[in-house]
Structure 1
């Protein structure tokens, strides 16, 4: 992987939270939400990050956008170490790095109409300052995400969950970012809407040359959108591989367990398939093993 092709380079990222303090205010118990994660994302690709609730995947995303400061490690974006930058130095990167959150209702100001919601990031970053020009840009974006120009002056409560997520996506891409952290962007949506939103994200990626980190617990949908996938458990990566390789040849027992939990539309095949379970507690400290490359591009943590 040539360096000039890497947009995001995460090196030994750790994020620990204090769970308790003693009478002097010192931390007594630490939650290691992310505990030494390293991966790279190439320009123009989608890197899927999957794992069960509590695996640390969303914490990784929040560290990448500097919503959280890291305990240790570095995050390089286009060659710049974000951990070394102050608020003022981060501003140009905040335009280039955008986020789509799981719950569109809580991330959209209910007192703002669609024109203002999508136009606000443009205003913050000094784009399309003429009112008519901004209105035209917002209108065009609405159509790209499957909404209509007549929605410009409506408010979030007037839309369905899927429509609100489309507004959030339009807001995220309105400032022409390079990188978008998609933090479980479809998990709160109806199944019938999920595929539509994923297809729309792919269309926007192709049109605007976007790079995605796609965080989810639904492995079947992650396969559809991702070029490569990293599997997280207990704050660590246990396997990283190209999407098809991971599904066709999973090597870590935890990856096999996640794959065996994906629903199968054929009831007979579902009954005959044996669920694969993996007990990390019983496996000792192997969950802290480093990733090693077992075939080109396929990395797995030692689990024997």
Structure 2
């Protein structure tokens, strides 16, 4: 991926707040700021990793990009078009260009539909192929993700977790998207299968010219697949940098603490664990500033 590639996704001061409670008159009395002023860009052909602890807001960012959530404030531009205020009719062509792979492949697949129906449904919605042509297209996608034609008439419960996730990937690719939001796509899989799925995602990216937002908490896997990485804490981005730069030279205290938690595959190694506390967080800054080319950090 070249730095000269065009910007495909441009997120500007994105905010998503949820009402936690209301007073006796029905007015909001408590608000959860799940995403609170996030800005970043993803270039065409790039994989942008988004990491952070549970509850940091990273999955909410992904759902906002998919327009599964309406935003509280801010905007998202896709290929130069502001999609923030599009209605459902206007969103239909956009939804073909942006697809998703969710964390749990079983709950994201309709148990009452077979594989041909699951993968063929998006094609039908967007008017791609028909009849035998659609069946052949689905079979070709199945083979591309490592499954077989004989699986066409089987149901989700008849597959392993890794196979179900391959079906989800085939479904995401069925409408030939430009951008895929991968929301923790390997966290529910066995360790032995995770590397296979990530390697397949990389191969598919090269083959189809895909752009990824890769949301995960497995920091070692994120480094492997991502070109750049953003670190989220309490709904805000605290650091953004090239993958190797972030891991080799983390600047924000939260990033340093997060990376120190990565297990070391050596029983005799002594790891220096940094404990993140509220006392450290008190001096946090919110605005990202560039400290070196391509390395942005919110320092107090």
Q: Please, what TM-score do these two structures have when normalized by structure 1?
A: 0.96
Residue 81 to residue 97, structure 1, CA distance change in 2 (3 Å): same
Output one character per residue of 1:175-212: Cα deviation in whole Å (capped at 9) or x when no partner.
Answer: 00000000010000011100000001011111100000
Partner secondary structure for residue 187 of structure 1: coil
Which residue of 1 is the match for residue 218 of structure 2?
Answer: 218
Matches within 5 A, 1:32-181: 32-129=33-130, 131-181=131-181
Residue 90 to residue 50, structure 1, CA distance change in 2 (3 Å): same
The 8 Å contact of residues 264 and 271 in structure 2, kept in 1 or not, is answered as no
* Alpha-carbon shift at residue 273 of structure 1 (Å): 1.5
Which residue of 2 is the match for residue 204 of structure 1?
Answer: 204
Residue 217 to residue 203, structure 1, CA distance change in 2 (3 Å): same
* Alpha-carbon shift at residue 277 of structure 1 (Å): 1.7
* Alpha-carbon shift at residue 278 of structure 1 (Å): 2.1
Partner secondary structure for residue 75 of structure 2: strand
Output one character per residue of 1:192-239: Cα deviation in whole Å (capped at 9) or x when no partner.
Answer: 100000001011111100000000011100011100000000000010
- Stretches of structure 1 that go unaligned for 5 or more consecutive residues are none
Residue 253 to residue 159, structure 1, CA distance change in 2 (3 Å): same
Residue 210 to residue 56, structure 1, CA distance change in 2 (3 Å): same
Residue 153 to residue 203, structure 1, CA distance change in 2 (3 Å): same
The 8 Å contact of residues 116 and 153 in structure 2, kept in 1 or not, is answered as yes
More helix by share: 1
Residue 60 to residue 298, structure 1, CA distance change in 2 (3 Å): same
Output one character per residue of 1:39-82: Cα deviation in whole Å (capped at 9) or x when no partner.
Answer: 00000000000000000000000000010000000000001111
- Stretches of structure 2 that go unaligned for 5 or more consecutive residues are none
Which residue of 2 is the match for residue 18 of structure 1?
Answer: 19
* Alpha-carbon shift at residue 136 of structure 1 (Å): 1.1
* Alpha-carbon shift at residue 283 of structure 1 (Å): 3.2
- CA-based RMSD of the aligned residues comes to 1.3
* Alpha-carbon shift at residue 287 of structure 1 (Å): 3.1
Which residue of 2 is the match for residue 184 of structure 1?
Answer: 184
Alignment coverage as a number of residue pairs: 299
